[in-house]
Amino acid sequence: MRVVEGYLLRYKGGVWAVKGCDHPQGYVVALPREIDGLKVKRIKEGMSIVKERFPALIKYYDKIGFEVPLIPLNESHVIDPFTIVPKDSVSREFASFFPGVGITGSMAYSDSWRDVDFLSFNPRDYETLLRMRNEGKTSPLFTIQENEMETLDSSSFRKLKQERVTEGVYKGMEYTFKIVECFEFPPVEGREEFHGEVEILREVKPHTLPVVYLARDSQGNKLSLTSFRTRFADLRKGDKLTVKGTILKRRGGFLDLDLDIAEIVSLL
């Protein structure tokens, strides 16, 4: 079993969410999702908890390019989303459209949930989601929770959420559908701060995580925008963004403007 984005762990009395696809042997990169009964939605909040309560976990990992929490698998219990059975009739019905889909999020480890998180490794599930939206079987998600706001400004966050088919409402059930298609990132060999405008030139991998876009900055330099977060999925060719963040200079000349560690991202 390969433990990647979308899997959950029980570790040190809490529930942790696995981040990304690249992990050192015997460890996974993960952030707290629920600690002492309190849900953690923001990356910055999760990192603050780790630094305060679990500082020994934080290590530099060259595939990511900065310090991250590395959780030892031999001290954890892995919650496999693909062994979780949907716990109500609506989520079971929705899951029936996607053979082999997994359940992650609160439903995977708790008896209470506000929405349902699905996990898939099948890129074709996006076509099913798109068809269901076009047929009116699902509707856009207009609600925003304050604790999920991070990086994107509120107007950009709301606009993108409403346009995505990987988030929506099915028969009153709010859902998020995460499709993971792992991408091999070269190691990071340098970093450069970035603050400016970028325009998307090509949607390299816009629907599955990590999303990848070829972009150009205002000086004409080409670089890639990447993210493991659903909020940055389904951007389009021609979209322009203001980004304050860091370019990870990866081996082979791959310039990676990682939106997940950006301080500010805003649609223009």
In this prediction, residue 1 carries a pLDDT of 80
Span 29-44, average pLDDT: 92
Give the model's confidence band at 112: pLDDT under 50 very low, under 70 low, under 90 confident, else very high: confident
In this prediction, residue 152 carries a pLDDT of 87
The closest of 1, 28, 24, 2 to 16, measured between CA atoms, is 28
- Asked if pLDDT for residue 142 goes beyond 90, the answer is no
- Asked if pLDDT for residue 198 goes beyond 80, the answer is yes
- d(CA 165, CA 139) in angstroms, rounded, equals 8
Give the model's confidence band at 109: pLDDT under 50 very low, under 70 low, under 90 confident, else very high: very high
Give the model's confidence band at 220: pLDDT under 50 very low, under 70 low, under 90 confident, else very high: very high
Domain boundaries, the chain: 8-79, 81-179, 188-267
The tens digit of pLDDT for each residue in 148-190 reads: 778 888 888 889 999 999 999 999 999 999 999 998 899 999 9
In this prediction, residue 227 carries a pLDDT of 97
In this prediction, residue 183 carries a pLDDT of 86
- Enter the pTM of the model: 0.94
Give the model's confidence band at 143: pLDDT under 50 very low, under 70 low, under 90 confident, else very high: confident
What is the percentage of the chain residues whose pLDDT exceeds 90?
89
**Cis peptide bond prior to 32, omega within 30° of 0:** no
In this prediction, residue 106 carries a pLDDT of 95
- Asked if pLDDT for residue 103 goes beyond 90, the answer is yes
What is the percentage of the chain residues whose pLDDT exceeds 70?
100
In this prediction, residue 153 carries a pLDDT of 86
In this prediction, residue 212 carries a pLDDT of 98
- d(CA 238, CA 191) in angstroms, rounded, equals 26
Output the six-digit token pair for 9: 């762990």
- Asked if pLDDT for residue 146 goes beyond 80, the answer is no
Output the six-digit token pair for 26: 């015997």
Q: Using DSSP, how many helices (H) and how many strands (E) does the chain show?
A: 4, 17
Give the model's confidence band at 37: pLDDT under 50 very low, under 70 low, under 90 confident, else very high: confident
Mean pLDDT of the chain: 95
In this prediction, residue 203 carries a pLDDT of 98
Tell me the three state secondary structure of residue 107.
helix
In this prediction, residue 154 carries a pLDDT of 86
Span 63-75, average pLDDT: 95
Query: Which superfamily, per CATH, for 188-267?
Result: Nucleic acid-binding proteins (2.40.50.140)
The owner of tokens 């068809």 is: 131
Tell me the three state secondary structure of residue 203.
strand
